[in-house]
Structure 1
Amino acid sequence: MRGNTRRLLPGRLEHADIRTGLRWKLSAAIALVGALVAIALSLVVHNAARVSMLDNARDLADQRLQLAQSIYDRPGRRPAPATFKIDDPTLPAALREKVADGRRATFVTDHPGGVPDIWAAMPIKGGHVLSLHTHFTDRSTDILKDLDQALVIGSIAVVLGGSALGVLIGGQLSGRLRKAAAAANQVAKGESNVRVRDAIGGVVRDETDDLARAVDAMADALQQRLEAERRVTADIAHELRTPVTGLLTAAELLPPGRPTELVLDRAKAMRTLVEDVLEVARLDGASERAELQDIVLGEFVARRVAAKDPDVEVRVVHESEVTTDPRRLERVLFNLLANAARHGKPPIEVTVEGRVIRVRDHGPGFPEALLAEGPSRFRTGSADRAGRGHGLGLTIAAGQARVLGARLTFRNVRPAGAPAHIPAEGAVAVLWLPEHAPTNTGSYPMLPQQVPQQGK
C-alpha cells in the first residue's frame, strides 16, 4: 500500500494562517465601537457645554452693557465703570460693523489654547460706541476641565466595560463552538452515537444550535449511506461466495496444464477478495469479539513468522505475556508482512519489545494519504493498480487491531534531521497491544501516554 508522495519544494510555503480566538475578535470589535461612540459623545457634550457657557457669558455681558448705558444716559453723565470703554480702538472689526449699523451686539474672540474673550458693544449719544471687554471666567474654565476629565474617565470605563462584555459573550459563544467542533471531530472519527446538539448544551437557542442540528442531520444522513453501502457490499460478497466456490471446485476438476493453473490462480484470488470483503463488512459492523488467551508474545510471533516466511528476521528485545486473541493477532501480523513484501523492499524485520510489535521494510514508505487518514479499502496509493492489491489488507489489520483493543500506527523512516522532501528509507507499522485485554463489550482502556525518562 505504497505510492509516490507529494513533496514540497524547499522554501515553499503552503499557507500562513493567523488564528485568533472569537472572544478576542468580538471584544476588540465592541471596544472599538465603544471607543468611537464615547469619543463622539464626548466631543458633542464638550462643545454643547462650552457653547452654553459662552452664551451665558455673552448674555451677562449684554446685561452689564445695558446697565452701563443707563448710567451713561443719566443727567450729569457719570463716568462709566473702569471695565467699560468709549470708542475702544481694540474693538473687533466684526463687532464694530454691527454697532455701525445701530445694533447692540456681542462677540467672542477665541485664542488657540487660551481663554476666550467676551465683547459687548452698542451705539450711544454723540456717535460714540460704548463697549465691554471681559474674559471667560475661571470658574467656567474649571467646570469645562472637570467635565472633560469626567468624559475621559467615562469613555475609558465604556471601552473597558465593552471589552469585558465582549470577552464574556465571545467566551460563551467560543466555548459552544469549540464543543461543537470537538463533537464533530468525534463524529468524523466514526463515533456515531455522539450528538453535536447535546454536546454544546445550553438553554438559550441561537445560530449555534441551528449549526449543531445541521451537523447532526448531516452525520445521520452519512451514517445511513455508509450503513447502506456496507450492507450492499456484504450482500454482494455473500452472494458471490457460492458461485466463486463452485468455480474453484470446477477448476480443480480440469485436466492438469498451464490453462488450468491460470484459472485456479484467478479463482483463488477472487475467493480471497470475496472473503476479505466479507471480513471488512463484519469488522465495520462492530459485531466481532475477541476470544482471549494468554500467550508469550515474542515466542508466538517468532513461531508464526518463521512458518509464514523464514526469510523475515524476528528480534525479541523484551519478552512479555499478553492476553489476546491469537487468531486475530496472527491475521494482523500476516497482513502487515504481506503489505511489506508486496509494496516494500527486503530485508523485512519484525521486532517484539514488550507489548509492541514493529514490522519494517526498506521500501519507498507509506503514501501521505495513508499517514494522514489511515488505511482505506480499495485505495492502495500505488501507481501500479494491476495485481498490486485492493487496499483491504491494512484495512483488515486496522479493524482486527480495534477488536483486540490495540492501536496500529504507520510512519516512514527518514535519516535523522532530513527534511520532508528527502525520500523515505522504509516503512514501519507498529502494533501496540493494550495493557488490559478488551472486555466482552468490545471496549478497552485507552493506552497511557508514555513520558520519556530523563537521563541521569
Structure 2
Amino acid sequence: MRLALPQWAGTLAVKAAVFITVMCCALAALLGILVHVSVTNQTVGQARELTLSRLEDATAAFEAGDTLGPHVGLDPPGLPRSLRDLALAGDRGTMVADRQGRPTMWAAGPADDERVLAVEVDYSQQARTIEGLDRAILWSSGLAIGATLLVGAFAVTRVTRRLHATARVARRISGGDLDARVDDPRTKDPTRPQDEVAAVAVALDSMASSLQSKLLAEQRFTADVAHELRTPLTGLHAAAELLPPGRPTELVRDRVAALRTLTEDLLEISRLDTGRERVELDSEPLGALAERVVRASGTQTEVVVVRDVVVETDRRRLERVLGNLVANAHKHGRRPVVLTVDGPVVTVRDHGEGFPDYLIAHGPQRFRTEGGAKGHGLGLTIALGQAEVLGARLTFSNAVDGGAVARLTLR
C-alpha cells in the first residue's frame, strides 16, 4: 500500500531543509563525539597519572613504615570490589566510582598477600569539566545548525522562487499566453554566473518564442488560404447557379456549398486565433434563444427548459456555439438529441457512440481522427473558441448509458 505524503513534503524547500538539518546533525554529532572522546581521554588520563603517582608514593611510605597520608588506606571502605580483586591478584589499576555521592578516582595495588593499598582522588572537577564540555558542544551544535538552516533556507528560497516564476510562465504559455517570458536577469548579464535555473529559463523562453512563431505562421497560413479560396469559390458558386437543373448540378452546388462553409469556418478560426474578437453584450432569455437555435437548425432536437434565466451575453456568438453543438450531435451521434437549459447551464446530448477519448482529454482538434473514425471537423473547435470569447466554459464528456454530452456553462 502506497502512503500518500502531504503536499508540503514534496516541495524542494522542505526537502532541502530536511537534508541540511540531517547533514548538520550528523556532522555535529560526529564532531561532538570526537571532541568528547578526546577531551575525556585526556582528562581521565591526567587524573589516572596523578592517582597512580600518589599510589606509588603511598606504597613507598608503607614499605618504609612511614605514616600514610590523607586519602590513603588499607582496604578502605568504598573501594570497588573489581578494583580490589585486581590488586589482590598483584596488579595495579584505577577506576572512577561514586563515593558518598561524589565521583572519585581510585588507584589500588597489592600491600601484602591479604590486604590492598588504595588511594582516592576527588574527581568532581574533572567530571564537571566534561559535563560543561558536553553542554558547550550541544549549544554550539544547535547554534551552528540554526545558522546553517537560515543560510541554507535563504539560498534555497532564492532558487525555488525563480523556479516558481518559471513554472508560472510555463502555465501561462500552456494557457495560451504566448507572449509570456521568464526574462531571468541572469540570462541578460553574461558576467553573472549561469546556473541550472537560468538554463531552464532560457530553454523555456526559447521554446515559447519558437512555438509562438510556428503558431503565428499557422494562423497566417490558415487566414491566407481562406481568403484566397473565397474569391474563386464566389465565382464557382455563381457559375454553378447557371448550370441547367439536374442531378449533376445538385452535386456540384452541394460541394460548392460545402467548400464555402469550410472557407467561412477557416476564416472564423483565424479571427478567433488572433484573440481580437470582442463581444457585444445584451440580455437574452436562454430558453427562448435555445428554441430559436433548434428551429434554425432544421433538426429534430428536443428542447427541455428545466429553469430559464436571462443572461448577459453576445447573442450571435451564443447561437453559433449552440448551433454547432446541435449540428455536431446530429452529424456524428444518433437521435434522440436533447438540448437542456438548466439555469446558466446548457447541455446538448445525443445517443450515439460518444466522443472519442482524445477529444474528452484534450478538447477538439482540427480535422483530427483516430482509429479510422470519422473526424469532428471544425464545428466543435469553433464552438470552443466562441465559448472562450464569451467567457463561458465548454466541456465534453460521455453519458454513462451512452451518448456524447457537451455542457456549456455561462457566467
Q: Which residue of 2 aligns with 1:365?
A: 354
Structure 2: 5+ residue stretches without partners? 75-83, 98-102, 110-115, 186-191
Question: Distance between the aligned counterparts of 2:157 and 2:88, measured in 1?
Answer: 61
Structure 1 unaligned residues grouped into runs of 5+: 1-12, 97-105, 122-129, 415-423, 435-456
The answer (yes or no) to whether the contact 2:333–2:354 under 8 Å persists in 1 is: yes
Instruction: Give the one of 203, 214, 219 matched to 1:230.
Output: 219
Question: Where does residue 412 of structure 1 map in the other structure?
Answer: 398
Q: Which amino acid aligns with 1:190?
A: G
Q: Which residue of 1 aligns with 2:20?
A: 30
Return the offset for 1:306.
1.6
Q: Deviations over 1:319-378 (max 9, x none)?
A: 444443333222211111111112222111112344432222223332333233222212
1:243 maps to 232
**Equivalent position of 1:314 in the other structure:** 303
TM-score by length of 2: 0.76
Equivalent residue, structure 2, for 1:265: 254
SS at match of 1:428: strand
Cα shift readout 1:402-424 (whole Å, capped 9, x = no counterpart): 2333332223332xxxxxxxxx5
1:300 aligns with 2:256: no
Given the alignment of the two structures, is residue 48 of structure 1 paired with residue 34 of structure 2, yes or no? no
Verify: 1:378 aligned to 2:355, yes or no.
no
In the other structure, the counterpart of 2:407 is: 430
- Do the aligned partners of 2:340 and 2:348 also contact (CA within 8 Å) in 1? yes
* Cα-Cα RMSD: 3.9
Displacement after TM superposition at 1:313 (Å): 1.1
CA contact (8 A) 2:340 2:346 kept: yes
Counterpart of 2:36, as a letter, is H
The answer on whether the counterparts of 1:119 and 1:132 sit within 8 Å (CA) in structure 2 is yes
Verify the 8 A CA contact 1:27 1:165 in the aligned structure 2. no
Which one-letter code corresponds to 2:255 in the other structure? Answer: R
Instruction: Tell me which amino acid in the other structure corresponds to 2:24.
Output: G
**Residue correspondence of structure 1 range 337-376 to structure 2 within 5 A:** 337-376=326-365
Structure 1 residues 57-456: aligned runs within 5 Å: 57-61=47-51, 63-64=53-54, 78=66, 81=69, 83=72, 90-91=86-87, 134=120, 137-156=123-142, 158-159=144-145, 162=148, 170-171=156-157, 173-197=159-183, 207-380=196-369, 383-385=372-374, 388-390=375-377, 392-414=378-400, 424-434=401-411
> Larger relative contact order (C-alpha < 8 A, sep ≥ 6)?
1
Cα deviation, residue 48, structure 1: 1.2
Supply the AA of the counterpart residue of 2:169: A
Identity %: 41
Return closer, same or farther for 1:137/1:271 CA change in 2, 3 Å cut-off: same
TM-score between the two structures when normalised by the length of structure 1: 0.70
Rounded to whole Å, the distance in 2 between the matches of 1:141 and 1:293 is 90
After superposition, give the CA deviation of every residue in 1:244-281 in whole Å (9 maximum; x if it has no partner). 34444444444444444334333332332222122111
Asked whether the 8 Å contact 2:55–2:107 carries over to 1, the reply is: no
> What CA distance in whole angstroms lies between the structure 1 residues aligned with 2:31 and 2:246?
100
1:376-402, Cα deviation, whole Å (9 max, x unpaired): 2122557423xx542x11111111222
Q: 1: CA distance between counterparts of 2:271 and 2:206?
A: 26
Kindly state the Cα deviation for residue 190 of structure 1 after the two structures are TM-superposed: 0.4
Over residues 278-323 of structure 1, what are the superposed CA-to-partner deviations in whole Å (9 max), with x where a residue is unaligned? 2111110112233444443322321231232351111233344444
CA contact (8 A) 2:393 2:409 kept: yes
CA contact (8 A) 1:180 1:197 kept: no
* Number of residue pairs aligned between Structure 1 and Structure 2: 382
What is the SS of the residue equivalent to 2:278?
coil
Given that residues 105 and 123 in structure 2 are in contact (C-alpha distance below 8 angstroms), is that contact kept between their aligned partners in structure 1? no
Q: Distance in 1 between matches of 2:55 and 2:279?
A: 109
Cα deviation, residue 162, structure 1: 4.9
